[in-house]
Amino acid sequence: MIEPMIAPSILSADFARLADAADSVERADWLHVDVMDYHFVPNLTIGLPVVRSLHAATDLPLDCHLMIEDPDRWAPAYAEAGAANVTFHIEAAKDPVATARAIRAAGALAGLSIKPATELDPYLDVLREFDTLLVMTVEPGFGGQEFMAEVLPKVRRAREEVRSGHLRLFIEVDGGIDADTIEAAAAAGADVFVAGSAVFSADDPGAAVEALRARARRAMPG
Ligand code: DX5
Ligand code: ZN
Ranges of the chain whose pLDDT falls below 70: none
Catalytic annotation on 174? yes
Q: Which of 73, 108, 66, 64 is nearest to 89 (CA)?
A: 66
Q: Which of 27, 24, 15, 111 is nearest to 67 (CA)?
A: 111
Could you state, in order of their start, the residue ranges of all structural domains in the chain? 5-219
Catalytic annotation on 203? no
CB of 34 shorter than 6 A to ligand 1: yes
Q: What is the number of the ligand closest to the CA of 40?
A: 1
**Identity of the amino acid at 183:** E
Q: Which CATH architecture has domain 5-219?
A: Alpha-Beta Barrel (3.20)
Q: pTM for this structure?
A: 0.98
Q: Residue 88 forms beta bridges with which residues?
A: 66, 112
Q: How far apart are CA 5 and CA 125, in angstroms?
A: 25
pLDDT value at residue 2: 82
44 CA to centre of ligand 1 in angstroms: 13
